[in-house]
A = this chain, B = another copy of it.
Amino acid sequence: MNYNEKSLELHRQKRGKLEVVSTVPLDSREDLSVAYTPGVAAACLAIAKDPQCAQELTIKGHMVAVVTDGSAVLGLGNIGALAGLPVMEGKAILFKKFAGIDAFPICLNTQNVDEIVETVKRIAPGFGGINLEDIAAPACFEVERRLIEELDIPVMHDDQHGTAVVVLAGLLNALKVVEKKMEDVFVVISGAGAGGMGIAHLLFEAGLKHVVMLDSKGIIASGREGMNIYKEELAARINPEGRTGTLADALQGADVFIGVSQPNLVTRQMVQTMAAKAIIFALANPIPEIMPEEALAGGALVVATGRSDFPNQVNNVLAFPGIFKGVLEGGLKKITPKMRVAAAHALAQMVTHPTPEKIMPSPFDEGVAETVAQAVKAAM
């Protein structure tokens, strides 16, 4: 595919991908007097008297900041905030396209947790929500936790939670296809960065009981050396028996593999050791942990990837626009795990008859963001 060349050409031709346009007329002195001085003073004074008025008199009620420090951009690593700007612009226009929410990219010239938190808090007045993006683990966990605590607007790190919502939606439908139950299945998650952590926590919230998680050193277990506090906490919760071992060990008898890790980690032979009717989410991008044809040849029944050129694309554009639409419309201050589980169920239910090749709605289906938004509001 020549997406890269086409994309470079498009970016160059358009000089980025978004513009800021007026929604009010500015064609006469009268227009200026109403939209700007002296008339605008009335809006300012109304907000000075009651800050809540900003929700209806300004962009605040429908504007999300897409914030990055550029430390983990796509799969490209720590390329810095400026180099991440094309992704943030893309994210911003997806908000508008899929949910009618305005969003603006903010690229931070710092990768220090305290400074990121401080800076986002200082620019927060003009925004209704904060979408954290492409911030590396483990810094992303503390940044998100502190911003959620310290701001009175919704904050979500999409790499953790957007992906998790879509994975859960897909898993709910995949389990219908293979006729297994969430509380019975054994799930192996490969990758303990932002995505893996978000998925593990959300699946637990959704009723999953049996799971192991692996990082590059093997199964995460309490007391293993060199683990950060987030892995320690999770290990105590999901792996109380203290299982250890490699990915090949973990996959024996497993019902589900979820990879948010590295290309080509899983072989056909490893899939053959999994339980019957195995489910594979091989989400490393652009090269998955195992190619779909190999996974199917190894006996898997449902295979999802992050790619648009295979069936069952796990695409977080299914989740984040609707989630923010829901909290902004509902005037909700936090995005809770309960809301995310509700969003996943709503997404799953958009596929009326799940099949091995159709466990996900398409982002272009009618009403995806609206459906998610309604579920989020109902779950508050």
Contacts and interface: CB of A to CB of B under 8 A. Distances in A.
A35 B7 contact: yes
Contacts of A84: 44
A21 interface: yes
A379 interface: no
A17 B12 contact: no
Interface stretch (A91-99, A174-182, A214-222): A91-99
Interface in A321-368: 363-364
Interface residues of A, number: 98
A39 to B, nearest CB: 3
A42 B90 contact: no
Contacts of A363: 32
A82 interface: yes
A153 to B, nearest CB: 12
Nearest to A124: B109
A34 B3 contact: yes
A82 B47 contact: yes
Given A23-B17, A34-B10, A122 B108 contact: yes
A115 interface: yes
Nearest to A151: B109
A297 interface: no
B15 A86 contact: no
A59 B125 contact: no
A273 interface: no
Copies of this chain: 2
Contacts of A89: 58-59
A244 interface: no
A317 interface: yes
Contacts of A41: 4, 7, 74-76
Nearest to A43: B86
A143 to B, nearest CB: 14
Interface string A213-254: 000000000000000000000000000000000000000000
Contact of A58 (B57, B86, B109): B86
Interface in A1-44: 1, 3-8, 10-12, 14-24, 26-29, 32-44
14 contacts: A3-B34, A3-B39, A5-B42, A15-B61, A20-B103, A22-B96, A35-B93, A36-B87, A38-B285, A40-B74, A41-B74, A58-B85, A59-B105, A123-B123
Given A37-B87, A60-B85, 18 more contacts: A7-B34, A10-B24, A10-B39, A11-B56, A11-B58, A15-B59, A15-B62, A16-B60, A17-B23, A26-B94, A27-B364, A40-B86, A45-B79, A47-B85, A51-B83, A82-B126, A85-B126, A108-B125
